[in-house]
Amino acid sequence: MNWLQHSTGGLLLLAAVGIAVLLLLIIRFKTEPFIALVVAGLLVALGAGLPVSTIVGSAQSSSKSLLETGFGGILGHISLIIGLGTLLGSILEASGGAQVLTAGLLRAFGEKRAPLAMGLSGLIFGIPVFFDIGIFVLAPLVYVAAKRGGKSIVLYALPLLAGLSITHAFLPPHPGPVAIAGLLHIDLGWMILMGLACGLPAWFVGGILYSTWIGKRINLPVPEEMLAAAQKAAEESGAGERKPPSLALVGTIIGIPLVLILCGTFGSILLPKDSVALNVFAFLGTPGIALTIAVLLAFWLLGYRRGMSKQQAGQLSAASLRPVAMILLVVGAGGFFGAVLAATGIGTALSGSLRAAGLPVIVLVYVISCGLRLAQGSATVAIVTTGGIIAPLLPDLHYSQPHTALIAMSIAAGSIIASHVNDGGFWIVSRYFGIPVKETLASWTVLETVLSVVGFGMAALLSVFV
């Protein structure tokens, strides 16, 4: 197959075959995504004629294989961040931080603006917790708010879901944004800034304007069995026996890592080189350090000082970190797939084709990410696969960090479009809020599409100026 190494058309065809194999394994054979990514990467590498020693290494060679560099390169960058972010979310959840945050916002906005309060709860609490965990924790509060308001549960649930979805797709320390930052070598400070710039308008249009409109047209009651189960769980857990943390403390702990990371990023731009202040900001603003500080404060202020034992803290940490293993395997496999595409010359071939077609990169990555999301359902797989495809061509284009971060936002926006029946999130939303499939398609699926399109539109617009 030597012709593949010298033919742009052959390389692009090989890439298309690799992606087709990936989707076939995930969709048809229900293969775990990380295994499918590894298999697709190996087939592309072998199909392009790369030496076996280059792909998997050999005893005679001291150089690292693509399997090692692909997995190790990305995991070395993101493992600590995702692990610490998960721990931070778990202690905030266990301490009752979500209830404190939501109750405070409901008091501030009043019953008439309860949907807005739920949306802000999802947006703020969604920063440190995974999307599905956010639903599990906050859904009972939606039931209560909707019951008191006497209106459709859709009106209260969609703003919350919009906030959780935006943070999941656009902001660190969630796996998708952290993974794409690692693949494209983007400073997390720029990811946070551009994530807010693209995500907040999308949240307002989708989570407030669209959710209010559709919530008045789909009239569904609060599922009584879910409301009863939530009340029983609260009683059995001894809610109210332990004094809840203050709203200011919860907000501070959520905000600390974001502020430190942003200070580190912009300190390197604004402060004199080699100054003491720059070194301090650079150290504290390193994502791993910033999150470590936040986690230690959270365990001390929300855990130990409020009666949590060392054994409980250990059990909480172990339980929260179990789901991270599969996420890291998917991201690592995506890194390997991207390394193969770079080594085979597919990235260069794609870059040349783009220049010839005049198609902007920020549009291309959105289309690719949308296609992968629609085909296999997972936002994380869509992000890491698109990142692997696009990473090899970016160095030659010499984009700035802000512009590259906007390309990452375009990928993130594409990864959440049109959640439907092949997405686990679709069924979580439907079952937890008692929304029939038809109405879930009309509300949640459309909401995700609105968030995606507006997020991409903001990324494309801002890319003209940076």
- Express each pLDDT in 167-190 by its tens digit: 999 999 999 999 999 999 999 999
- Summary mean pLDDT of the chain: 90
pLDDT at 238: 47
Lowest-confidence pick of 4-8, 20-24, 136-140: 4-8
Query: Which candidate, 400, 387, 399, places its Cα nearest to that of 341?
Result: 387
Closest CA to 445 of 431, 424, 426: 426
The pLDDT assigned to 358 comes to 75
- Per-residue confidence (pLDDT) for residue 367, from 0 to 100: 93
Compare 230 and 312 and report the one with higher pLDDT. Answer: 312
Across the range 99-103, mean pLDDT stands at: 90
Residue 59, pLDDT > 70, answer: no
Is residue 137 in some structural domain?
Answer: yes
373 lies in some domain: yes
12 belongs to a structural domain? no
pLDDT tens for 393-415 read 888 888 999 999 999 999 999 99
9 is a domain residue: no
Q: Taking each helix axis from N to C terminus, what angle separates 379-390 and 401-414, rounded to the nearest 10 degrees?
A: 140
Domain holding 120, by residue range, is: 26-55+63-463
Confidence of residue 323 (pLDDT cuts 50, 70, 90): confident
Query: Quick check: is 284 in a domain?
Result: yes
Total number of domains constituting the chain: 1
Residue 14 resides in a domain? no
The verdict on residue 150 lying in a domain is yes
- pLDDT-derived band at 239 (thresholds 50, 70, 90) equals very low
In a domain, 334, yes or no: yes
Q: Does the pTM exceed 0.85?
A: yes
**Residue 4 — very low, low, confident or very high, per pLDDT cuts 50/70/90?**
low
**Is the predicted pLDDT of residue 253 greater than 90, yes or no?**
yes
Q: Contact 413/365 with Cβ under 8 angstroms? A: no
| Region 117-144 average pLDDT | 92
For residue 117, what are the CA distances in angstroms to 128, 223, 342?
Answer: 18, 21, 46
pLDDT above 60 (res 240): no
**C-beta separation of 337 from 40 below 8 A:** yes
Please enumerate in sequence order all residues whose Cβ is within 8 A of that of 13, keeping only pairs 6 or more positions apart, or say none: none
